[in-house]
Amino acid sequence: MSSAIDSVMTETRVFGPFERVAKDAHVSGMDAYRALYDEAADDLEGFWGRQARENLIWSKPFTKVLNESNAPFYTWFEDGELNVSANCLDRHLNTPVANKTAIIFEADDGQVTQVTYKELYERVCKLANALKSLGYKKGDRSIIYLPMSIEAVVAMQACARLGITHSVVFGGFSSKSLHERCMDVGATLVITADEQKRGGRNIPLKPAVDEALSMPGTEAVRHVIVYRRTGADIAWKEGRDLWLHDVLEGQPAECEPVAVGAEHPLFILYTSGSTGKPKGVQHSSGGYLLSALLTMRWTFDIKDSDIFWCTADVGWVTGHTYIAYGPLAAGATQIMFEGVPTYPTPARFWQMIERHKCTIFYTAPTAIRSLIKASESNDEHHPKKFDLTSLRIIGSVGEPINPEAWMWYFTHVGRERCPVVDTWWQTETGSHILTPLPGATPLKPGSCTLPLPGIEIGIIDESGEEVPPGKGGFLVIKKPWPSMIRTIWGDPERFKKSYFPPEAKGYYLAGDGAQRDKDGYVWIMGRIDDVLNVSGHRLGTMEVESALVAHELVAEAAVVGRPDSTTGEAVVAFVVLKRPVPQGDEAAEIARQLRDWVGKEIGPIAKPREIRFGENLPKTRSGKIMRRLLRVVAQNETITQDVSTLENPAILDQLTKSY
C-alpha cells in the first residue's frame, strides 16, 4: 500500500477550471461550490428539505426531514409520500420533454432503437398494468434478470410504479447466485429474457432462471415473465412462464402510480462484503431519488441538450442510479448499450460517441485501460481517429483511476477540453459522494477531489481519531445523507456491524482506505477489507473461497488479489486438495475444473485468474492463514517479511507455480 501512497502524493499536475463548461454550469466556480457546501453544512436538514421540496414531486408532503432517533437506521422525509416512476416519467408529460428521446438504445449488432419520454411512460404503464393484473402489488419483491435493454428500464420503472421492490441480478451471475438472491429477497416474480447478446454471442438467461427455481426455497415465485430477445428455443413451464409480449397485449397505456412512503424500499441490490454471503443493500424511494437527480445536475451538469451515456450494466448500482433513475428524473436523453466495448472492434465506444453525438460519457477505469492497450496495438482503434468533439464532460467510476490512465482519458478522449469527473461512491451510498464538479473543481489526476454538498467525510485511524493530511486511514462519512443504505435486507445486525462498528464512533465506515493532501483533496487507496475490485466489480475473497471449498476435491482455499494493469486486481486462489499436490497436465486440468466450478457457483467474473496448489497454506502456529504473505507470493515478489511465525515454511516453494 505504501508505494501507492507515495505515487499519488507526488502528483502535482492540476487541470482546470474549464471555462467552456463553467460558464453556464449548474455549479459554476469554486465559490459557488463552497457556498452550496457551506449552506448544507450550516443547516443540513434545511438544505436537504429545500432540495427535496424543490426537486421531487410529492403526493403527500413531508413534515420531517431527517429522523435520527433510531440511528444508524436513519430515515429521510419519512412522513412524505411519492412515486418514483411518476417522478421519472409523469412529471415530463405536460412539458416539451414528453416528445424528447429518453433512450437511444444501441444493440450489440449496431441496430438502434429510440423511445421518447411519452413512449417510455406508456410502456411502463402497460407493464405495470400487466403486473397488477397478475396480482402483484406494493410490498412484493421481484427479481429482474435482464440484459441491457429498454425492457430492463421498463421493468424497473414498472415495479417502482406499483411499489414492488426490485432486485436486479447482473446477467453474468450464475443460477446459483440467482437462487441465493431470489431466496434472500423472497421474490414472487422473476422478469428475464430468453438470451442476451454480447460481443456477437448469444448467452442464455432463461435456463439459469429455470435452474435457480428448481432449487428449494424459491417456491414463492409465481411467474416468470420472459422478454424474447433472440428467439432461442427455451424450456417452458406452463402456468408459471409468460411471454412479456403476451402479458402486455391489450394493456391500457395509463396506470395510476401507487404512492409509497419515502422510506419504502425501491430496490435491494446485492453486493459483496467480507463474508461469504452477499449483502442485500436496501435503498429508499425518496432520499435515493433525490440524490440520483441532484448528482445528475451537480456532477454531470446535465442540460436539456445533453446526450448522456453511462456504460455500466443495470445489474450494478451505477446502472440503477445513472441509467434507470437519475437520467430519467432529470429528463435527459441517454444512450444505452447492449454490448461490450471491444466488439466488433475496440473502437466501439468512440464510434458510438461520434454516431450519437454523446456529450457526457461515464465509464470505468478498467474499460479505459483495456482500450488504451487496444489503441496502442492498432492505431485504427485510437480515439484520435474519431470525432469526439461533442463531448463536454467525461467521467470515471468503480475503482481508483491511476494517473496515467487518467491522463490518457483526459488527453485523447476529452482532448484536454473536458473535465474528468472521477466519482467515488458505492452501492451503499446510492449516489456520488466524492467527485469534482465539472464547472468548478480544479482536477488532479487520480484524485476524486472533494465531497459533494451535504456530505461530510473524515479519515480516521484504528482508534477513531482523525489523521492529519498526508496520512492514510479509513474513509468515513460523518453525517447521514438521503441516498444512504437503509439496512441490509433481513439482517439489521449485519448492517450495524459492517457500516457502523464501534471503532468508527457513529460514522459510516466506507471500507476504503484514503488520505487527504494539503488541499483537502481525497486520494482513495482501495479496500481495507477482504473485498477485491476486479474490473470494477466487487468480489469478496470469502465468496470465492466458499465456492472453491464446496468442490469435492478441495480441502481448503485462500483467495487474494494481485494488482493487474488492466482489471485493477486479479483473483489468485491458493488451493489445498484432498489428494496430493498435482503437477503438470493434471494440475492444469484440475485448475480448469475449479475455474468452471467457480463460474457456476458465482459467475464468470469470479473465476480465478491463477490457481496455485500446495499441500497446505502458510499459517501461523495458531493456525491463521497468513494472507499478507499470500499477497506477496501472488505477486511473485521476494518475501521480505518475517516468516519465523510460519508453521510450515516449506510450502511457500510449492505455491510459486500457477495454473
SS3 59: coil
Contact 114, 106 (CB under 8 A): no
Amino acid at site 446: G
Sequence-ordered list of residues with C-beta below 8 angstroms from that of 453, at least 6 positions apart, any chain: 33, 36, 37, 39, 40, 47, 298
Judged by beta carbon, residue 338 or residue 422, the one nearer ligand WTA is 422
Give min distance, CB of 312 to ligand WTA, in A: 8
Judged by beta carbon, residue 262 or residue 485, the one nearer ligand WTA is 485
Give min distance, CB of 306 to ligand WTA, in A: 21
Contact 259, 59 (CB under 8 A): yes
Maximal C-alpha separation, the chain: 74
Judged by beta carbon, residue 335 or residue 525, the one nearer ligand WTA is 525
Give min distance, CB of 396 to ligand WTA, in A: 6
Judged by beta carbon, residue 315 or residue 331, the one nearer ligand WTA is 315
Judged by beta carbon, residue 424 or residue 659, the one nearer ligand WTA is 424
Judged by beta carbon, residue 115 or residue 532, the one nearer ligand WTA is 532
Contact 600, 176 (CB under 8 A): yes
Give min distance, CB of 534 to ligand WTA, in A: 11
Task: State how far the Cα of 319 lies from the Cα of 165, in Å rounded to an integer.
Answer: 16
Task: State how far the Cα of 174 lies from the Cα of 215, in Å rounded to an integer.
Answer: 13
Give min distance, CB of 180 to ligand WTA, in A: 18
Q: Which residue is nearest to ligand WTA (CB)?
A: 427
Task: State how far the Cα of 113 lies from the Cα of 149, in Å rounded to an integer.
Answer: 10
Contact 227, 145 (CB under 8 A): no
Contact 364, 537 (CB under 8 A): no
Judged by beta carbon, residue 398 or residue 453, the one nearer ligand WTA is 398
Please state whether beta strands 457-460 and 473-477 pair in parallel, antiparallel, or not at all (unpaired).
antiparallel
The residue among 202, 201, 226 whose CA lies nearest residue 213 is 226
What DSSP character marks residue 534?
E
Terminal-residue alpha carbon distance, the chain:
26
Please state whether beta strands 393-397 and 420-423 pair in parallel, antiparallel, or not at all (unpaired).
parallel
Give min distance, CB of 118 to ligand WTA, in A: 31
Give min distance, CB of 426 to ligand WTA, in A: 4
Contact 202, 232 (CB under 8 A): yes
Judged by beta carbon, residue 439 or residue 561, the one nearer ligand WTA is 561
Contact 203, 195 (CB under 8 A): yes
Give min distance, CB of 270 to ligand WTA, in A: 10
Give min distance, CB of 431 to ligand WTA, in A: 9
Judged by beta carbon, residue 363 or residue 427, the one nearer ligand WTA is 427
Task: State how far the Cα of 103 lies from the Cα of 116, in Å rounded to an integer.
Answer: 7
Judged by beta carbon, residue 129 or residue 429, the one nearer ligand WTA is 429
Judged by beta carbon, residue 491 or residue 529, the one nearer ligand WTA is 529
Please state whether beta strands 223-227 and 189-193 pair in parallel, antiparallel, or not at all (unpaired).
parallel
Judged by beta carbon, residue 347 or residue 433, the one nearer ligand WTA is 433
Contact 315, 217 (CB under 8 A): no
Give min distance, CB of 526 to ligand WTA, in A: 6
Amino acid at site 290: L
Give min distance, CB of 395 to ligand WTA, in A: 9
Element (H, E) at 550: none
Judged by beta carbon, residue 361 or residue 425, the one nearer ligand WTA is 425
Contact 573, 542 (CB under 8 A): no
Task: State how far the Cα of 257 lies from the Cα of 528, in Å rounded to an integer.
Answer: 42
Footprint on this chain of ligand WTA (rule: CB under 6 A): 271, 316-318, 396-400, 422-427, 448, 510-512, 524, 527, 533, 538
Q: How many helices (H) and strands (E) does the chain have?
A: 21, 30
Task: State how far the Cα of 365 lies from the Cα of 352, in Å rounded to an integer.
Answer: 18
Q: Grid coordinates in use for 61? A: 408532503
Give min distance, CB of 15 to ligand WTA, in A: 17
Residue with cell 443504505: 485
Give min distance, CB of 181 to ligand WTA, in A: 16
